[in-house]
Each structure stands twice: as structure tokens, then as C-alpha cells.
């Protein structure tokens, strides 16, 4: 037997050793380490997770507090429903009355308990919401947007193209230029449909009414005209400006027209009677841009005196003045969904809250004279400058996801690569720009752009952002 055992042991020693892979050995080592230390950490969350535990409990109470502790079914009520019927059959009205009173008192006490519980849960939920609201703010991450590319170039103007306006039905748009003409273009095909003449100087502002078949124009000839689009003629003229008129806006709900220009005044006109309702004075330099809103402040203006003013339309005076900009404010754009707006100047692009003008953030990086801003409902903000540069921003976070340089028309100078006006169409999928090389360019989203080909290269700015 001893010899047999010795032979078996010698055979085992002669067997080759099995070589395990690195993954198997690592897994075995990890498992041994876990078995060694698991007893010390198996007792729930440690001390440094108290904040996480409190957060989970607060969220649970706020979202599921009303259904966490449901009242138990009332046995007295179930007995009471059967008791009166049985006692009535047995012919004992006095006992039936006593059972009914007990049932009513039990139901009332249960109802009061439920009300007290709901009230305590409501108070606890409100306190939890206040606690969660005082947490440190989380920096939002930018939304991915596809890149944009040039789709079409349209030429027809004989001078700089200074303004653009879109028709409410998204079928056509109109442009005005330094050649004193207004041209109407088909949006889908890009063909010229109509040319209107009547101004004797450069056309600087256009607006198409949402509720009337009217188009309004203003120019450096101090004229403000109303065009009837059914007969393509001027039917009204608004006289009062002392110098060139640079911007024009229609009120979204009232039959009111607002114009601003080099005389540093905003004039409010009655669209039908041609009479001047207000002359809003307060700026000390040329008024370059306007925003009109259905709620207060109904008029917002940006001027070359580097200020933004909110106006009380009813009283005809200034409500608030924003002095954060250090250079002339040449463009204003309101968000189509949010209660915010953006202002463009050579120093910065800034975002603000309505109605008090609270500052949100700076969009720094467009180191040029920003002439125009455009914003769609998807949160894509575009800024165009006088050197032909286009910057595409994520409106929420201020992340610049694309840089682009416009290409001048063949035969033009490189210095004519300026962008004077731009707008999105009603769908937000087409960007129309008016440029100094006498062309109109249309941009669209690149269908080949994906999150893998154009990832978000976002680096949060930890340093506190400047207000200036």
C-alpha cells in the first residue's frame, strides 16, 4: 500500500502545471480580497454617504410621499354596512342606530387621519424642495448640434444687402439693399419673384405683418413706407424722423409700428391712421436694433451709445437701462420660447432675462464687430460680423460648436466679406444672410454630420464669468 501511494504521488508530480490566463488570475485575486474585507463593509452606507442618503430620502418623500403610507381599510365601515341591514331584518332599530353612529364616527376619524397625514406630507415635500433648491448648481452640458454648410448663393442686388424679412407662411422672403430696391425671393427655389422701387436711398429695415397683407420698409431717406402686397404699391407713409431710419419692428398683437434711427429716438406709429403715438427719447446715439413683445417690456432697444433700454409703451418712458456693454449694441434677438434675449456688440455677446434685465452670461470669442444675430427654437445662436465670420453657439451653455468664414462672390474684394443681417426661416432649418458682396446666402444643416464625426469638445470654464 505504501508503495502504491508513493507511485501515485510521483505520477501527480510528473503532471504538467496548468497555466491560467491573466484575466483568470486577476479575478481570483480580486475575489480573495473581497472575501477578506467584505465583513468590514457589509454594514450599509458609510459616514461619508450621509448626504447621498438624505438626498435619496428627500426625493422619495417628494415624489412618492403621498402613496408611501396608505391608510388601512376600515373594518368598522365594512361591519357597519352589513350591521344595519342584519339588525333591521331582526327588528332591532335601537341597536342599528348605535352601529350606524359608530360607523360614522370611525369614518370621520379615518378621514381626519388621512387629511392630517396628507398635510404633513405636503409640508415635508415643500421643505424637501427648498432643501434641494439650495444645492450647489450643476453646470449644464451643451446639446449636440449638427454642423451647418452653405446651400445656395443668390445674386440680384446692385449694392450691399442691408436687411431681410421672412413671410409668415414661410413661402418667400424680402431683402433691401443699398441699390434702393426691395426684392422678393422664393425661399424653396431661390428665384427672384419681384422687385419694388420707391426709396431714394439705401433700404435699412423690413417687416412683414402676420395679420395684414402689408409689408413695411424704412431707409436712409428718412422714409417709412407701408406696402400693400396685393397690389404691390405704397399705400401709407409715416413722416416724422429727422434723419436716417435704421430699424423697424411690428408689435406682435397690436396694430403698432416702431422705428428707430440716427435721430436717437424711437417713434411709435399707429399703423392705420399714420399718426405718431409716442416719441421714446433717452438714447444719445443711433438706435441700431429693436425687439417688440406682447408683454412688458413691450419694446427693447439697442443703441450705439452702448446701452440697452426697456420701454414702458403705455407711459412712453424708459423703464430700465442696461450699461454692461462697452461698445455699440448693433443687434438684439429674443428667444422664441424662453423669456430671455441676447445682445451683440464688438466686445461680447450677452444674454439677459426678461422682464428685469438680469444678466445671464457672456458668449466670448467673436472678436469682430457683430452686426447681426439669429436664433432658432433648437437653441442655435448665430452671430455674423463685418469681417465675414460666422459663429454658431449653443444658446443654453454658450458653447461655440462651429466657426465659418463666408466666401465672397467672384470679382469682389476680400474686404467685402461683411454680414449685415441674418434670420432663420420659420422652421429653423435654413439660415439666410445678407452680405456686402451684394449676395444673399442660404445655409442649412449638414446631413452627414453626426455625433461621432463632430463630437462636442466642451471644456467648462471654471473661472467665474465676467459681466463685462
Q: Which of 349, 251, 262 is nearest to 299 (CA)?
A: 251
pLDDT at 57: 78
Does position 435 have pLDDT exceeding 70, yes or no? yes
Does position 37 have pLDDT exceeding 50, yes or no? yes
CA atoms within 13 A on the CB side of 6: 3
0.95 exceeded by pTM: no
| Residue found under cell 365594512 | 78
CA angle 419-169-433, nearest 5°? 10
Tens-place pLDDT, residues 148-197: 999 999 999 999 999 999 999 999 999 999 999 999 999 999 999 999 99
Sign of the alpha-carbon dihedral angle for 39, 43, 47, 53: positive
How far apart (Å, rounded) are the C-alpha atoms in residues 26 and 33? 11
Check residue 193 and report its DSSP letter: E
Does position 77 have pLDDT exceeding 50, yes or no? no
Of 331-335, 380-384, 414-418, minimum mean pLDDT range: 414-418
Would you say 170 and 429 are in contact if contact means Cβ atoms under 8 Å apart? Answer: no
pLDDT band at residue 72 using 50, 70 and 90 as cut-offs: low
pLDDT band at residue 95 using 50, 70 and 90 as cut-offs: very low
DSSP 225-263: EEEETTTTEEEEE----SS-EEEEEE-SSSSEEEEEETT
pLDDT at 59: 76
Would you say 415 and 155 are in contact if contact means Cβ atoms under 8 Å apart? Answer: no
**Chain-centre distance for alpha carbon 446:** 22
Provide CB contacts within 8 A for 63, sequence distance 6+: none
Tens-place pLDDT, residues 44-57: 444 446 667 777 77
Please give the average per-residue pLDDT across 312-341, as a whole number. 92
Q: Which of 357, 363, 420 is nearest to 388 (CA)?
A: 420
Does position 315 have pLDDT exceeding 70, yes or no? yes
pLDDT at 416: 84
| Range with top average pLDDT, 2-11, 21-30, 104-113, 363-372 | 363-372
Would you say 399 and 363 are in contact if contact means Cβ atoms under 8 Å apart? Answer: no
Surface-to-core class of residue 8, CB atoms within 10 Å of its CB (0-12 exposed, 13-18 middle, 19+ buried) = exposed
DSSP 141-190: PPPP---EEEEEEEE--SS-EEEEEE-TTSSEEEEEETTSEEEEEETTT-
* Strands of the sheet with 299-303, listed across from one edge: 287-292, 299-303, 308-312, 317-322
Cell digits of residue 285: 446715439
Cell digits of residue 195: 422687385
Does position 268 have pLDDT exceeding 80, yes or no? yes
Would you say 321 and 302 are in contact if contact means Cβ atoms under 8 Å apart? Answer: no
Amino acid at each position: 500500500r505504501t508503495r502504491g501511494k508513493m507511485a501515485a504521488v510521483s505520477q501527480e508530480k510528473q503532471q504538467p502545471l496548468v497555466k491560467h490566463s491573466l484575466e483568470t488570475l486577476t479575478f481570483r485575486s480580486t475575489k480573495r480580497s473581497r472575501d477578506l474585507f467584505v465583513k468590514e463593509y457589509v454594514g450599509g452606507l458609510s459616514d461619508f454617504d450621509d448626504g447621498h442618503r438624505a438626498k435619496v430620502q428627500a426625493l422619495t418623500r417628494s415624489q412618492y410621499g403621498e402613496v408611501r403610507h396608505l391608510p388601512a381599510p376600515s373594518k368598522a365601515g365594512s361591519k357597519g354596512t352589513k350591521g344595519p341591514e342584519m339588525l333591521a331584518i331582526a327588528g332591532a332599530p335601537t341597536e342599528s342606530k348605535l352601529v350606524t353612529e359608530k360607523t360614522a364616527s370611525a369614518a370621520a376619524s379615518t378621514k381626519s387621519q388621512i387629511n392630517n397625514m396628507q398635510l404633513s406630507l405636503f409640508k415635508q415635500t415643500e421643505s424637501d424642495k427648498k432643501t434641494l433648491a439650495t444645492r450647489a448648481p450643476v453646470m449644464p452640458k451643451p446639446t449636440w448640434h449638427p454642423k451647418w454648410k452653405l446651400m445656395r448663393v443668390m445674386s440680384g442686388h446692385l449694392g450691399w444687402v442691408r436687411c431681410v424679412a421672412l413671410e409668415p407662411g414661410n413661402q418667400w422672403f424680402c431683402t433691401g439693399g443699398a441699390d434702393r430696391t426691395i426684392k422678393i425671393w422664393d425661399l424653396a427655389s431661390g428665384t427672384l419673384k419681384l422687385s419694388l422701387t420707391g426709396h431714394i436711398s439705401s433700404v435699412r429695415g423690413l417687416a412683414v405683418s402676420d395679420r395684414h397683407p402689408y409689408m413695411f420698409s424704412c431707409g436712409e431717406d428718412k422714409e417709412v413706407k407701408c406696402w400693400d402686397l396685393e397690389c404691390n404699391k405704397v399705400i401709407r407713409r409715416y413722416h416724422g424722423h429727422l434723419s436716417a431710419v435704421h430699424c423697424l419692428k411690428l408689435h406682435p398683437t397690436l396694430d403698432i409700428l416702431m422705428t428707430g434711427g440716427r435721430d436717437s429716438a424711437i417713434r411709435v406709429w399707429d399703423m392705420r391712421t399714420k399718426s405718431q403715438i409716442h416719441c421714446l427719447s433717452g438714447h444719445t446715439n443711433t438706435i441700431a436694433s429693436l425687439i417688440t413683445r406682447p408683454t412688458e417690456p413691450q419694446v427693447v432697444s439697442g443703441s450705439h451709445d452702448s446701452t440697452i433700454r426697456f420701454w414702458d409703451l403705455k407711459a412712453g418712458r424708459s423703464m430700465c437701462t442696461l450699461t454692461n456693454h462697452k461698445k455699440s449694441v448693433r443687434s438684439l434677438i429674443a428667444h422664441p420660447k424662453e423669456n430671455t434675449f441676447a445682445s451683440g456688440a464688438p466686445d461680447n455677446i450677452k444674454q439677459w432675462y426678461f422682464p428685469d434685465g438680469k444678466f445671464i452670461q457672456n458668449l466670448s470669442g467673436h472678436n469682430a464687430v457683430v452686426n447681426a444675430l439669429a436664433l432658432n427654437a433648437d437653441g442655435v445662436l448665430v452671430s455674423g460680423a463685418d469681417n465675414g465670420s460666422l459663429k454658431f453657439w449653443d444658446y443654453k451653455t454658450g458653447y461655440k460648436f462651429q466657426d465659418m468664414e463666408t466666401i465672397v462672390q467672384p470679382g469682389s474684394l476680400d474686404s467685402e466679406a461683411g454680414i449685415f443681417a441674418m434670420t432663420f426661416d420659420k422652421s429653423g432649418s435654413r439660415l439666410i444672410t445678407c452680405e456686402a458682396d451684394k449676395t444673399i446666402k442660404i445655409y442649412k444643416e449638414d446631413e452627414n454630420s453626426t455625433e461621432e464625426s463632430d463630437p462636442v469638445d466642451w471644456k467648462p470654464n471654471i473661472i467665474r464669468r465676467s459681466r463685462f
